[in-house]
């Protein structure tokens, strides 16, 4: 069985999902978990895009071991040099550069002829190769490119030293049969194709990203680029858990192996969902809440008699198991820390102390604390270094015959304690207006959602919001047994993200 390389781009393409912006510490947590899961290549970000992204890629390159750490770069000299500066400290660094090859992109976007594009691709791969032995090249919009020209570019970049050539379905346009033929044709027609590993990066605009990626494997590709939970631009990317479990369950059809520890899949999915604020839909394959749930009487009857009647994989194979360790108000720090480690969280001493204090507060209100409760606590408490303004107190008065009124107390970055109050159409509206009176930052609330973390009257309520500011979308999450408090925390989290980004907009060093 041949080995397939798993290239994860959650921290780069995944973060391009609206509102999925993460801070450096959150990206580090995810990168460590990806390495723990056995991901071969972690695309840590796009270093030249912002100082924050540069710092995140540099920290991941410096601290995460066991995986190749990759930085993305356009086919520009300064991008390539900046990417190298960010990843050069990595145990195994890779530069990934890309350039459009479809006529629609050449004519309308980059305004270059085919000849100019071919020479630029050569030059930039050669430049990357002078920095780094491991170089990947992507002809963007490959599936809408002229196959003959695409083969020319592929041959040229391999001549210049590209060790991996990625064929992206950038706009999610192709079908499995077409993609199989395209990959097979490139491998047969490019004379030096044997000198590089061929990769695929499929988008999910038609819902075919995973199917296209698997078809490409059968055609000869040996690297799949994907994201956790399938997040990414527009409709997202090929989902890591879908392709990995397809290879795991259907070995008869796909004679390939990966280095992924599948029992880490579920906890990685939850970690990414918590940090990005993007919920996993209940019917999502592999990791959705309903993936192993059965309501039909016929299905339930079959499952009780033999699980294989209606389940093609064991929930334990993706790490979906209930802990035998029941946490409650008498549980100590050691048991708490161990359970967080099982869920994939490796907290600093300071973060652990904050999370443990919240756990104890919750344990006084709930008899038993579930894994979902713990995830909500960690997602809510581990905010550093985003916590610029701190919400110290919120109080609301409302009712069917009262005008909703909210009072907030906020600690500013320089330690001042400010209070203000506001009226609103409802309690949450009043809280947000009061916060805006203290934190004078222009923004627009675009999405507000509430869900119960667990069942029961004492459940934690989790609020996710999105705000627009400075032309970008920022996600905020808050969790508490009081839904108004959770709403206030979520709003503060989103505003702090917006302000943190403003504070890191100084220019990236130029080369």
Digit-coded pLDDT (tens) for 288-319: 988 887 666 776 667 677 777 878 898 889 98
Whole-number pLDDT of residue 295: 63
- pTM comes to 0.85
Whole-number pLDDT of residue 508: 38
Q: How many CB atoms lie within 10 A of CB 267?
A: 22
Q: Which CATH class is domain 2-276?
A: alpha beta
Residue with tokens 């995810």: 30
Question: What rounded mean pLDDT belongs to the chain?
Answer: 90
Whole-number pLDDT of residue 456: 74
| pLDDT for 480 beyond 50 | yes
User: What SS3 state is found at 448?
Assistant: strand
**Among the ranges 197-201, 357-361, 466-470, 481-485, which has the highest mean pLDDT value?**
197-201
Calculate the alpha carbon distances from 133 to 127, 161, 434 in Å.
Answer: 11, 8, 55
Cα–Cα distance measured from residue 224 to residue 254, given in angstroms and rounded to the nearest whole number: 14
Whole-number pLDDT of residue 383: 53
Mean pLDDT for 31-40 is: 97
Mean pLDDT for 346-367 is: 84
- Note every long-range contact of 421-426, with CB atoms under 8 Å and residues 24 or more positions apart, other chains counting: 426/398
> If pLDDT is split at 50, 70 and 90, which confidence band does 381 have?
confident
Beta bridge partners of 390: 411
How do strand 405-411 and strand 417-423 relate by DSSP bridges?
antiparallel
> If pLDDT is split at 50, 70 and 90, which confidence band does 374 have?
confident
Q: What percent of the chain has pLDDT over 90?
A: 66
Domain borders along the chain are 2-276, 333-381, 390-502
Whole-number pLDDT of residue 289: 82
Q: Domain 390-502 adopts which CATH fold?
A: Double Stranded RNA Binding Domain (3.30.160)
167-181, 352-366, 433-447: which range is least confident on average? 352-366
Judge contact between 241 and 296, C-beta under 8 A: no
Whole-number pLDDT of residue 303: 64
312-321, 338-347, 393-402: which range is least confident on average? 338-347
Pick the closest to residue 274 from 329, 343, 336 (CA basis): 343
Cis peptide before 385 (omega within 30 of 0): yes
Cα–Cα distance measured from residue 10 to residue 93, given in angstroms and rounded to the nearest whole number: 17
Whole-number pLDDT of residue 333: 86
Cα–Cα distance measured from residue 347 to residue 29, given in angstroms and rounded to the nearest whole number: 9
Q: How many CB atoms lie within 10 A of CB 357?
A: 12
Q: pLDDT (tens digit, 9 = 90+) per residue, 95-104?
A: 999 999 999 9
Q: What percent of the chain has pLDDT over 70?
A: 95
């Amino acid at each position: 069985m041949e080995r397939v390389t798993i290239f994860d781009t959650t921290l780069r393409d995944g973060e391009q999902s609206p509102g999925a912006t993460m801070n450096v510490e959150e990206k580090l947590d995810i990168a460590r978990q990806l390495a723990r899961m056995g991901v071969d290549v972690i695309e840590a970000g796009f270093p030249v895009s912002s100082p924050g992204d540069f710092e995140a890629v540099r920290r991941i390159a410096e601290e995460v071991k066991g995986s190749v750490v990759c930085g993305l770069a356009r086919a520009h000299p300064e991008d390539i040099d900046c990417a190298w500066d960010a990843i050069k400290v990595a145990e195994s660094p890779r530069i990934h550069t890309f350039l459009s090859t479809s006529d629609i992109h050449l004519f309308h976007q980059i305004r270059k002829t085919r000849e100019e594009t071919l020479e630029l691709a050569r030059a930039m791969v050669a430049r990357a190769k002078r920095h780094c032995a491991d170089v990947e090249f992507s002809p963007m919009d490959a599936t809408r490119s002229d196959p003959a020209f695409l083969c020319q570019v592929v041959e040229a970049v391999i001549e210049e030293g590209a060790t991996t050539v990625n064929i992206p379905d950038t706009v999610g346009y192709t079908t499995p049969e077409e993609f199989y033929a395209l990959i097979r044709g490139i491998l047969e027609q490019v004379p030096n194709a044997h000198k590089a590993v061929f990769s695929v990066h499929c988008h999910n605009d038609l819902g075919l990203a995973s199917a296209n990626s698997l078809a490409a494997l059968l055609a000869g590709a040996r690297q799949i680029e994907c994201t956790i939970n399938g997040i990414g631009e527009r409709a997202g990317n090929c989902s890591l858990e879908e392709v990995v479990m397809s290879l795991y369950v259907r070995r008869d059809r796909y004679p390939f192996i990966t280095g992924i520890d599948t029992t880490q899949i579920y906890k990685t999915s939850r970690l990414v969902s918590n940090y990005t604020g993007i919920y996993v839909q209940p019917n999502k394959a592999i990791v959705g809440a309903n993936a192993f749930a059965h309501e039909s009487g016929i299905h339930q009857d079959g499952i009780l008699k033999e699980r294989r009647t209606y389940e093609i994989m064991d929930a334990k194979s993706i790490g979906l198991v209930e802990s035998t360790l029941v946490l409650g108000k008498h549980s100590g720090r050691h048991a708490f820390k161990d359970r967080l480690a099982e869920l994939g969280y490796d907290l600093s001493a300071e973060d652990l102390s904050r999370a443990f204090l919240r756990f104890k507060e919750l344990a006084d209100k709930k008899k038993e604390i579930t894994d979902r409760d713990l995830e909500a606590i960690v997602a809510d408490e581990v905010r550093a270094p985003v916590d610029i303004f701190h919400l110290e107190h919120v109080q609301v008065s409302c009712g069917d015959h009262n005008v909703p009124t909210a009072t907030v107390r906020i600690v500013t970055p320089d330690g001042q304690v400010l209070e203000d109050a506001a009226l609103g159409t409802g309690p949450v509206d009043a809280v947000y207006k009061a916060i805006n009176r203290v934190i004078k930052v222009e923004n627009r609330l675009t999405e507000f959602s509430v869900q119960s973390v667990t069942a029961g009257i004492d459940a934690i309520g989790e609020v996710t919001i999105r705000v627009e500011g400075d032309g970008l979308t920022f996600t905020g999450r808050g969790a508490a047994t009081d839904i108004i408090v959770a709403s206030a925390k979520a709003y503060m989290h989103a505003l702090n993200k917006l302000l943190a980004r403003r504070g890191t907009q100084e220019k990236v060093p130029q080369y």
